[in-house]
Every structure is written in C-alpha cells, then in structure tokens.
Amino acid sequence: MTVSWSRRRFLTLLAAGSAVCPAGFAEASPLPSPASIAQEVRTEFLHAWRGYRANAWGYDELRPLSADHNDFFAPNHSFGLSIVEALDTLYLLGLDEELDESVAWLRANLSFDVDADIQMFEAVIRLVGGLIAGYGATGEAFLLAAARDLGTRLLPCFAKSPTGVPYRYVNLRTGNVQHNVTNLAEACSNILEFGELSRLTGDGKFMAAARAAYSAIIAKRSDLDLLGTSFDVEHGAFTDDADVAPNPPADSFYEYLWGAWALFGDRDARRWYRLLTDAILKYKRTTVGGRTWFQSVDYRSGAPSGARTQSELAAFYAELLAKGGDRDIGAAYYDSWTAAADRFTLIPETFDYTDFSIVDPGYQLRPEYANSAFDLWSLTHDERYRVTAYRHLRALTAHCRVRGGYTIVQDVRTSPMTLGDLLPAYVFAENFKYLFLLFGTTSRFDAAHYYLSTEGKVLRGFRGTRVRAA
C-alpha cells in the first residue's frame, strides 16, 4: 500500500508531537514517497551486505571498521551466521543473485557437527529460524534438513533436564549440556521455531519439548500471576524475585506465548498470555510525566523493586501489546519510545525512564523500535509510525553508516557518536526488513497474513517462493 504524503499532514504530525525531525529535516520537505524510501532501505541493506561480502564472507559477523570478522557462537568457528540471518530478507528485497550465492555457500559449507558448546537460545532464534525462513523463501530442502539436524542437536538441553526446562548450553557433537540456571527468554523463545520444525517435518518432538518448558515455568508463577526471571532447571524454581518484564531477559518469553497462539492456534498459550499480561499491566505498568513504562517488581508481592531503568530491548513490547489485544497501551508505550528517540536520536541500551539519564550509552544497532513501528503500522496504518520510522532510518544512516557497511555505537552522547566495530548479524534479519516492509510492497510478502519471529524471520507470509528441485 502506498500513502500520498502532503507537507501539511506531515507538519501536523510534527506539531502534534507525533514526530520530531533531526536538524534540517523539517525544513527540507515532506517525507519522500514510500516507494522511494523502500528503495533507499534496499540500497542501504546492499551497502551493509557488500561490506560483509567483501571482508567477512562465510564468517558469522563483520567488523566493518577493521575489515575483520567476528565468530558469534564459538571462538575460531563460524557458521556463516550473517548469511543464514539474511536469507529471507534477500528474498523479500528481490536480491536474487545474492540469495543464490548465499544458498550455494551454505550448501557447500554448513555443518553442525562441531565440537563446541553453543548457546541454545541464540542457535534457535538465529540459525534454526533463519534456516526455516530460508527454506520458506527458496524451497531448498537442504536448508530444512539443516534446521532439523541442528534442532536435534539442541534437544539434549530439554531431554537431559529433569524439569523439561532447557539447559542454556549444549555441545553440538557430544550432546553434553551446561548452565543449569537459565532465564525466561532463553528457556522458552523456541516454541515458534520448534513448532515450525515439527509442522514441516511431521516430527512432534520439537514442539512437545518447547511446550513442556513453558508449562513447567508457568506452573511456578506467583499468586499474583507474576514470574521471577532466572530459573534453575534442575530444581524447578526461580532463583530470584524480580519480575523484569518486558525488559530482558524476560522479553521474548511473552512474545512467543502470543506467537504460539497466532501461528499454531495453541489455546493454552493464548490463555497463559492473557493471564500473565493482565498481571503485568496491573502490577508493572507505570506512568511518568504522562508516559507509559514498565517497572520491575517482586514477583511474589508485586512491590516495586526500585529499579527505574528500561532496556532498549523492551521496545518490541509496544507491538506485542497491540497484537495481543491491548492496542491503546501498546500505542502509548510506542510513544514513550518515540520520546526516547527524540531525546537521544538513537536509543541507548539502558536509561532511567524517570529522568532520561543514560545508564548504558551504547547502541547495538538494535531493531526493536523499528519492529514495533512496522507491526503497529500494519495493524493501524496510522501515519505516525511511518514518520517516526523514517526519522529512525535517517538517524541510522547519519550515525551508523560507515564506508565498510554499518556499525554499532559505543556512546550516543558524544558528537560525533563514538563508534564500535561490529555489524551484528541480526541487522540483516531485522532492521532493514522492518523498514523495507513498512514503506515498500512486494508480491513476495503477504502483508495481511504474516508472522515474524523474535529475530524477524518470516515464519508465515511468503508468497511466490522460488521452489526448486532438491
């Protein structure tokens, strides 16, 4: 869908406080046409991709300032993570040559028979999800086979746990597990990828493992229907009292509950989502200066813990609330994040929401604000989400674009911002995808019936996939 933008409408949004432009932008013109913004996003994705292609091809991540690479999962071993993360984005952006080259690299090089201890959560959302989405985009059977192989190698985390709540790490070759204290997000942000794996392979063991983990943790909720954050998988008990949701490491625990309903029609998941969300809204929602935030509380008593910080990672919660039926609260929370963007230009990792003082000044090229803008736009077609997302795009190109691609920021307070040297692989899965789909249209995406994972993988919503013979 395209929207014709008038300068008057744009200035009205600005005057209403729905958008504030970087210096010089307000005078410049109304927003460019959505199609030209989508084209710009595609160009910027290609700029980042070419940096990775030139200096880190086949490694997990690019270090664009030093033209070097980063191994994400294990020292001295890369899985081509950025390639896996990019597959479905390449498809949606119509970058077919790049997609073909990526598939060829994976066909020749991808193996999970590695003697390395791997973080299960990251492997699921990035690799299993990326391979499933890549399979959905291309129809390449070896991608699904690789996802199944990796999923099987991750299952000891669940199978060896006496409670069914997974250990955090597993050795991909030996199946040895480690780290018995996990957290909400790591324990349960797998039901979407494992559910898809079960659906696509006909083997229900993946979904069954993911469901059992949710069930075991939710059984330990307090009388208030709040949850602790860290969980001992051997003793089946929380190891702390703080309910930090929607901040990490609780964040995607709730996202995947709603997703299990939306994607698989899991009625228990919907019921659990409602129960737990009602408690979050009752005990944790707070208003400061008219803005909506979420405070940490003791999960047994509901008493505020005193921490007044918000992590940028929590910005996704605006879209989740809206998707889950609390649209007005989600929109209000998004507006709070827009106020943070107004203040900081790029939202830092952690800040105090009572006075906007910065706790962690880095910006890790996080996608959560753009994620919420995209889903809220899809739900409402309210122009404010495009205005604010465009402003975010301008900030990204102004501060994070470097000759060799895009890079993280170490300190958003300095002028110019102090840069770090990393292009996280999730940027290929998330930031550019959300921004492209916010402004562009493609016959390859069903904008009315999509579902994306926490890592931005298209689990539902492909059209016209390029199915080929295996």
Is 221 in contact with 276 (CB distance < 8 Å)?
yes
Cβ at position 326, least distance to ligand DMJ in Å: 20
Phi, psi of 388 (to 5 degrees): -70, -35
Is 399 in contact with 416 (CB distance < 8 Å)?
yes
Cβ at position 174, least distance to ligand DMJ in Å: 26
Residues at the interface with ligand DMJ (CB under 6 A): 125, 252, 313, 366-367, 426, 454-455
Residues 6+ apart with CB under 8 A from 397: 44
C-beta closer to ligand DMJ: residue 323 or 366? 366
C-beta closer to ligand DMJ: residue 13 or 409? 409
Structure tokens that stand for 243 in this block? 């309910």
Between the CA of residue 93 and those of 38, 236, 433, 453, what are the distances in Å?
Answer: 9, 45, 8, 18
Cβ at position 455, least distance to ligand DMJ in Å: 5
C-beta closer to ligand DMJ: residue 256 or 283? 256
C-beta closer to ligand DMJ: residue 371 or 388? 371
Cβ at position 314, least distance to ligand DMJ in Å: 10
Beta bridge partners of 351: 310, 358
C-beta closer to ligand DMJ: residue 390 or 426? 426
C-beta closer to ligand DMJ: residue 69 or 366? 366
Cβ at position 393, least distance to ligand DMJ in Å: 17
Between the CA of residue 236 and those of 178, 214, 233, 289, what are the distances in Å?
Answer: 16, 12, 5, 40
Q: How far apart are CA 227 and CA 221, in angstroms?
A: 5
Cβ at position 313, least distance to ligand DMJ in Å: 5
Q: How far is CA 353 from the centre of its chain?
A: 22
Q: How far apart are CA 192 and CA 184, in angstroms?
A: 15
C-beta closer to ligand DMJ: residue 78 or 163? 78
DSSP 385-417: HHHHHHHHHHHHHHHTEETTEE--EEETTSSSP
Cβ at position 316, least distance to ligand DMJ in Å: 7
